[in-house]
Amino acid sequence: MRTFERTAIAAGQRVSVRVLATSANLGPGFDSLGLAVTLYDQVSVVSTDDGVFSAEVTGEGSAELPRDESHLIIATIRDTLGRVGFESNGLRLEATNVIPHGRGLGSSAAAIVSAVLLANALLPADDRLSGQEVLQLCSAQEGHPDNVAPALAGRLAISWETAGSFFSTAVDVHPDIIPIVAIPSYELSTETARNLLPVSVPHHVAAANAGRAALLVQALTRDPSLLLPATVDALHQSHRAPAMAPSADLMSSLRAAGFASVVSGAGPTVMTLARGRQQADRILEQIHAIVAASPIADGWRVLELEVDTDGAKVEMHRRN
């Protein structure tokens, strides 16, 4: 990473970013595949010189989030600026959160991506980070690139790590695919979900899962008829099922009905990938019927989304 003499960024700048939800893993693509979907947080920041760092937050999770410099986005903006030799003398953050927290739809990745992009936009034009540098910072902060990569670039992101560096490529998703999410009222932290995974798996299990992940790329990009077999997972979903029994039951029921249903990220949201309008309608009908009979029926939200093709968008405003 480049280094500079530490300099204060200019006060009076206003920058906004629209950052999106993502669904990682998609079944067998553990820590490597991520899909961008049309559910957005809107975040803006104003640079000041009064030494005050404050956050105004509405929407998802707003009651639990801090309003001072400990807010994740403010802290990450300051950390990002510091990494390239700059600092802020004050920030005023405004966030409208739509992405549910703790549900496996990439809310923490969205916060990190928005923070790094906002920090980058606040830098002088000649000192801004490249796209690859932004990916490195976001991935290092999140711990892996499977959510941050599609949040940055949109579409389907295929990501990997080599010698501590992160890389990703984005590919177009078949236009017939319609993501449908069933979001329960309860949360499951990524840390809790990851602690449920075994330390190792047999070679034949890893090989079988690799084959399904390879098939999934073909299914998502060229042949959606393969989605059901392509979304079979052998690495994580069964191990995490006891921590999210209603979600696991919903996913199993949908798969038994012939639909490509998976746990979104670490869960507990369930994502089902429909092949066209007719199947999407059948999936929605099936989900509503299943959740109506669930003990937590009132807690489910069912949303039909689209695949986002643009990624996060940054808007620069005139100086105040």
How many Cα atoms within 13 Å fall on the side-chain side of residue 77? Answer: 33
Domain-embedded: residue 1: no
Quote the tokens at residue 224. Answer: 């959606």
> Does 198 lie in the same domain as 156?
no
> Does 183 lie in the same domain as 123?
no
Q: Rounded to whole angstroms, how far apart are CA atoms 150 and 153?
A: 5
Q: Rounded to whole angstroms, how far apart are CA atoms 213 and 25?
A: 9
> Does 185 lie in the same domain as 149?
no
Q: Rounded to whole angstroms, how far apart are CA atoms 254 and 102?
A: 22
Quote the tokens at residue 3. Answer: 């280094």
CATH assignment of the domain containing 164: 3.30.230.10
Find residue 263's DSSP bridge partners: 270
Please provide the size of the chain in residues.
320
> Does 137 lie in the same domain as 31?
yes
Quote the tokens at residue 164. Answer: 């501590």
> Does 203 lie in the same domain as 66?
no
CATH assignment of the domain containing 215: 3.30.70.890
> Does 283 lie in the same domain as 193?
yes
pLDDT tens by residue, the chain, 320 residues: 444 458 999 999 999 999 999 999 999 999 999 999 999 999 999 999 999 999 999 999 999 999 999 999 999 999 999 999 999 999 999 999 999 999 999 999 999 999 999 999 999 999 999 999 999 999 999 999 999 999 999 999 999 999 999 999 999 999 999 999 999 999 988 889 989 999 999 999 999 999 999 999 999 999 999 999 999 999 999 999 999 999 999 999 999 999 999 999 999 999 999 999 999 999 999 999 998 887 766 689 999 999 999 999 999 886 65
Q: Which domain holds residue 231?
A: 177-304
> Does 188 lie in the same domain as 141?
no
173, 155 in Cβ contact below 8 A? yes
How many Cα atoms within 13 Å fall on the side-chain side of residue 180? Answer: 25
Total domains present in the chain? 2
Would you give the DSSP letter of residue 307?
A: B
Q: What is the pTM of this model?
A: 0.94
